[in-house]
Chains A and B, each alone.
Chain A
Amino acid sequence: MTTTQTQAAVRGPKAEVPQKPVRRRREGAAWVFLSPWVLGACVLTLLPMAVSLYLSFTDYDLFNAPNWVGLRNYTQMFTEDPRYWRSVGATLTYVVIAVPLQLALALVVALALKGMKRGRAFYRSAFYAPSLLGASMSIALVWRAIFNDGGTVDNLFGTGGWVNKPGWALFAVALLTVWQFGAPMVIFLAGLQQIPGELYEAAEVDGASRWRQFLSITVPMLSPVIFFNLVLQTIQAFQVFTPAFAVSAGKGGPADSTLFYTLYLYDRGFVASHMGYASAMAWVLLIAIGAVTAVLFRTSRSWVFYASEGDR
């Protein structure tokens, strides 16, 4: 999924000189194999994207034929809708808090497990389990109860329930994301195991401290994996829905503090039936995620190191 991967795929295998008739037959066969994917890509991805772009310039409400309204959805969104900006704010705050915390914890645990001889497989599985369970409604309900008035957190710290306080509810949801650090941790751990041991041995001989080794060997060698996790988790964080829905009973409260972008999009599109407006929101989300990814890729040139580019 990284650039090198894509480039390698674009170039394709070179050393192959197939005979003409075989090649033509294989070409036909390839399209047979691809046909479900091509159909899905056209009918369920490309066509919907085009349709939603069109609808974003209309007042479509699911029941009446769409009327062209020009840029009105967009101007309304950007200039007249305070809830829209609150949803943008809540989402950005959440992404900026949850993703770095989650990745930092994942890296620390992966480093701890790397040097472990016994029990690594056990811990790896155990820490990974929340990543599978955490997206469920069951866990979202548990979270709401634990962070509610009279819940565990209230009893332990006397802070009151977080989910009822505007400034705090977002952190409860962010902690649920941090709780699911297992998936990036497993990826980090696999990346750490690919770093050749000779590098550390050589550094040891040169008298480099462990911190120095971490900065000069681990971080650069792991940077493609850090980048992969950063992109993936950021994109996923932008789309979080279930926990915010459960924590706020679908309303995004208190005071719109957990009104995540997706929650507001659901509210506009499927509760209020403003499909045109929701389409415009979806396209802004698409462009925003594209822009964030592009920025991440751009900055990656200065800090992501691909071993295959230089000589090891």
Chain B
Amino acid sequence: MTTTTPTTVARKPLDWRRVALHAGCLAALLVMLYPLAWLLATSVKPADEVIASLNLLPGKLEWSNYETALDGVNDVSVTRLLTNSLLIAGGAVIGNVISCSLAAYAFARLRFRFRGPLFAFMIATIMLPHHAVLIPQYIIFNQLGMVNTYWPLILPKFLATEAFFVFLIVQFMRGLPRELEEAARIDGCGPFRSFFSVILPLTRPALITTAIFTFIWTWNDFFTQLIYLFSPEKFTLTLALRSFVDASSTSAFGPMFAMSVIALLPIVLFFLAFQRFLVEGMANSGIKG
């Protein structure tokens, strides 16, 4: 449906198809961003404006919602909750990056017995429902006296249990030219030297993708934290928000959503800073697979 009469040779005709496409995308975007706009607006609304008002813009800005939120829940301040969340997510990131890159290097580059079956098994564990192993894992950690500590949340990441990232890094390493290691081998590098000095620096994009996804998924995780942590001072932001779940009164809406904004902020910042890695990482997971 392109218009047929261009006014000048140099100037392209107005492409109505494209205009409609952009209009459609923008409209879809607005609908999709509505929940986020609603969240931001509600976090600064006074209690009496929250309900029965379609108007997103608050009549007056109620910053005290954030002051209440900063006080935290159950006498635990938001700073503490934020630190706890960061501690768990940070530990998970370090664990995943180290353990998954080690395993990935073996699968991508080294030859060993049972490599084929083990690789197939690793792929199969990507699809394994988390809940199938959850209860015995809980029992094991319970026996070890680690329930209500951060160990059950961090330790598994140091053992490459998130096979998705092993797979992601394997795919990336397979794309690196083999000549690099051949050259390193001729120069007398063993597998360890060539991993640390040749392969690892080149794998940085995949490691960054792994780090960011691990951070975001751990940050958002609720189920595992819910079963392992029960002392309020060990709670994360996600678990603290949970205590609002039972509160149905709308008077708590302002502080509750102020805290929700605080909890989402790190993810939004990560997304804005690393969106290229995230989108590319997600795209590659499907294509090269």
Interface residues of A (CB under 8 A from B): 1-2, 5-6, 9-12, 16, 18, 23, 25-27, 29-34, 36-37, 39-41, 43-45, 47-49, 51-52, 55, 62, 109, 112-113, 115-116, 119, 123-133, 135-139, 141-143, 145-146, 150, 152, 155-156, 179, 183, 186-187, 189-191, 194, 225, 228-229, 231, 235, 238-239, 241-242, 245-246, 249-250, 262, 265-266, 269-270, 275, 278-279, 282-283, 285-286, 289, 293
Contacts and interface: CB of A to CB of B under 8 A. Distances in A.
Interface stretch (B57-65, B72-80, B123-131, B203-211): B123-131
15 contacts: A1-B167, A30-B106, A30-B111, A37-B166, A43-B140, A45-B161, A116-B25, A131-B282, A136-B264, A137-B263, A142-B257, A191-B286, A228-B286, A238-B129, A241-B222
A249 B244 CA distance: 9
Given A155-B54, A187-B283, 8 more contacts: A12-B115, A47-B140, A133-B264, A136-B263, A150-B250, A238-B129, A242-B222, A286-B128
A88 to B, nearest CB: 14
A249 B241 CA distance: 12
B9 interface: no
A45 B39 CA distance: 39
B275 A186 contact: no
Given A52-B132, A133-B267, A142-B35, A112 B54 contact: no
A127 B24 CA distance: 13
A187 B54 CA distance: 35
Contact of B123 (A6, A249, A265): A6
Contacts of A228: 286, 289
A1 B238 CA distance: 32
Interface residues of A, dominant DSSP: helix
Interface in B138-177: 138-140, 142, 156, 158-161, 166-167
Query: Taking each of B118, B131, B133, which has the highest tally of chain A beta carbons within 10 Å of its own beta carbon?
Result: B131
A129 B192 CA distance: 38
B29 A133 contact: no
Interface residues of B, number: 103
Given A156-B54, A241-B223, A48 B136 contact: yes
The list of the 8 closest CB pairs from A to B, nearest first, reads A40-B159, A187-B286, A48-B136, A138-B260, A190-B283, A37-B103, A30-B110, A30-B112
Nearest to A235: B127
A34 B190 CA distance: 16
Contacts of B135: 48, 52, 55, 269, 275, 278-279, 282
Given A12-B116, A285-B131, A190 B102 contact: no
B58 to A, nearest CB: 15
A137 B107 CA distance: 36
Nearest to A105: B28
Contacts of A279: 135-136
Contacts of B227: 266, 270
Contacts of A152: 34, 38, 54
Contacts of A10: 116-117, 119-120
B35 A40 contact: no
A47 B271 CA distance: 37
A12 B278 CA distance: 29
A51 B139 contact: yes
Contact of B136 (A26, A51, A231): A51
A25 B190 contact: yes
Contacts of A146: 35, 38
B264 A283 contact: no
A34 B112 contact: yes
A49 B131 CA distance: 10
B137 interface: yes
B120 A9 contact: yes
A126 B220 CA distance: 19
B260 A142 contact: yes
B160 A40 contact: yes
A26 B195 CA distance: 12
A133 B32 CA distance: 12
A124 B110 CA distance: 37
A224 to B, nearest CB: 9
B140 A48 contact: yes
B16 interface: no
